[in-house]
Amino acid sequence: MVGDSWTHKIARVCILPLVNTPVTPNHLTVLRLITGLLACSALAIGSDAGNLWGGIFWLISAFLDRADGELARVSGKTSEWGHKFDYFCDVTVTALFFVGIGIGLRESSLGAWSIVMGCSAAAGVVAAEILAEIIDQSQKDTGEKAYPGFAGFDFDDVLYLFAPVVWLNLHFLFLIGASVGAPVFALVTLYKLQKSKK
């Protein structure tokens, strides 16, 4: 299904110079993974500078996640392996974001519990992503998604907000909420999966 969100449209324009060049969608996916890992590593430092650069790398990574898919579609280079690689990178980077901020907040009043909370949120993200992918693949013919977007925004466009959350020093509360919210969201997605099979 071709993405039609605002970020997809912007990415579609940005990748046009790369069409008919040696640059492949998988190259962009690798860059997405590298910048995502850099973001999570910077956030794990727990300093103001780390949070600044972590947010910057995070936004770049999130945009590249749009760009690789658009390049694949526009250039006709879509593949099952490319989709799986992109999906693996998405799940990995999103989950590690919470581990990163959890480690970065280890000197806060949460202490070592921040790392536990980060891992809890990460586990919830992984479970929810896997279950949502199963739902999306089962409804590929209809184009429906487990969590459809609205008003020109995809559900996962919320990832762009992670950077300002860190920059505004709101990741303390965000981590606490995600440590409970992500596992609950995974359970909700499991319910949607079971309901879709009926």
Q: Across the 198 residues of the chain, what is the mean pLDDT of every consecutive 10-residue run?
A: 70 88 93 98 97 98 92 88 92 97 96 97 96 84 68 79 96 97 95 81
Backbone angles phi, psi at 153, to 5 degrees: -120, 135
Residue at 142 is within a domain: yes
Q: Do 176 and 101 meet the contact criterion of CB atoms below 8 Å apart? A: no
Domain around 53: 6-196
**pLDDT value at residue 8:** 79
Secondary structure in 3-state letters for 77-132: CCCHHHHHHHHHHHHHHHHHHHHHHHHHCCCCCCCCHHHHHHHHHHHHHHHHHHHH
Name the β-bridge partners of 150: 153
Give the DSSP letter string of 25-83: HHHHHHHHHHHHHHHHHHHHH-SHHHHHHHHHHHHHHHHHHHHHHHHHHHHT---HHHH
CATH number assigned to the domain comprising residue 161: 1.20.120.1760
Closest CA to 4 of 145, 138, 132, 125: 145
pLDDT attached to residue 1 = 44
What confidence score (pLDDT) does residue 143 get?
63
Instruction: Report yes or no on 59 lying in a domain.
Output: yes
In a domain, 87, yes or no: yes
Spatial contact of 71 and 77, defined as CB atoms under 8 Å apart: yes
Number of independent structural domains in the chain? 1
Cα–Cα distance, 50 to 38 (Å, whole number): 10
pLDDT of residue 142: 65
Residue 1 lies in a domain: no
Establish if 82 belongs to a structural domain: yes
Q: Is residue 171 part of a domain?
A: yes
Residue-level pLDDT at 123: 98
Domain membership flag for residue 129: yes
Q: What is the pLDDT of residues 184-197, one digit of tens each?
A: 999 999 998 888 77
Identify the three-state secondary structure at position 191. helix
Residue 29 counted as domain residue:
yes
CA-to-CA dists, residue 64 to 22, 31, 90, 104, 160, angstroms: 17, 7, 11, 24, 12
- Per residue in 119-132, pLDDT (tens digit) is 999 999 999 999 99
